[in-house]
Amino acid sequence: MRVAALSDVHGNLAALDAVLADVIEAEVDTVVFTGDVALGPFPDPTLERLMELSLPARFVRGNCDRELVAAFDATPVEESLHDASWDAAVAWAAGRMSAEQRNFLARFEPSFTLTVDGLGPTLFCHATPRSDEEIVTPLTPPAVLEPILDGVPEATVVVGHTHTQFDLAVGRTRLVNPGSVGMPNADAPGAYWAVLGPDVMMRRSEYDVAAAAEAIDASGFPIPRFGEEHVLTVPGAAEAQARFEQMGVERRSRS
């Protein structure tokens, strides 16, 4: 089996459409989304596109997917990684979802395993095998990473969450992040993903980021400068990894 791994679409419909066109050309057997598909400027049409996919697809639940369902249901969330502006975005996006779209999100799986050509049994999750919010990056020390993966039998683990492509060896485990389709941290704008099987091939799809940013500005999405700062231009990979790693250090110090 060959798999297209897509993560963190974040309601960026133009980026999703660009990647899906390239996925068809890649001739994979299935598409796996590793979470956070809808929280962004176009939540309802993004969900509609995913619900109508003709390609075989599996969906991992990300922390933002979980929070959108909770917001739709008016259920308090115990803890959120977001600041006040992102909490407002959760409410805004949930208010645009239909009950059918909410139920689609609610069916996403915490994790699952597929056997991938050349890689063997491969675990797909959002942040780590034990959490949809835990932060790992290439800067995370082995002493932190190894306990996270301890007891995981799969040789390859595919995650998302930090929006940056990486491919790491952690002991006997290969830890892969395909990057973000809709809100990447990278050295150039675009939509980032990966093809798995027989090896890991990192991919980047181009699309009209100027037009997408303009549409985002007109969408009413309540995150200021989202189109300019996350689509038209993007945070650099090294800068983002350092920022996420600091968040991870702070989070671990509180636990």
Reported as a single tens digit per residue, the pLDDT across 81-94 is 556 788 899 999 99
Least-confidence region, from 5-9, 172-176, 247-251 = 247-251
pLDDT computed for residue 85 by the predictor? 80
Mean pLDDT for 21-43 is: 97
Decide if pLDDT at 239 tops 90: no
To the nearest whole percent, how much of the chain has pLDDT over 70? 96
Q: How far apart are CA 66 and CA 68, in angstroms?
A: 6
Tens digit of each residue's pLDDT (9 = 90 or more) over 1-20? 999 999 999 999 999 999 99
Tens digit of each residue's pLDDT (9 = 90 or more) over 184-234? 999 999 999 999 999 999 999 999 999 999 999 999 999 999 999 999 999
Q: How far is CA 246 from CA 109, 241, 251, in A?
A: 28, 9, 9
- What value does the mean pLDDT of the chain take? 93
Answer yes or no: are the C-beta atoms of 79 and 28 closer than 8 Å. no
Burial of 27 (0-12, 13-18, 19+ CB in 10 A): exposed
Can you say whether residue 225 is alpha, beta or left, with left for phi > 0 and alpha for psi between -120 and 50 degrees? left
Tens digit of each residue's pLDDT (9 = 90 or more) over 36-85? 999 999 999 999 999 999 999 999 999 999 999 999 999 876 555 556 78
pLDDT computed for residue 26 by the predictor? 96
Q: What domains are there in the chain, each with its CATH number?
A: 3-254 (3.60.21.10)
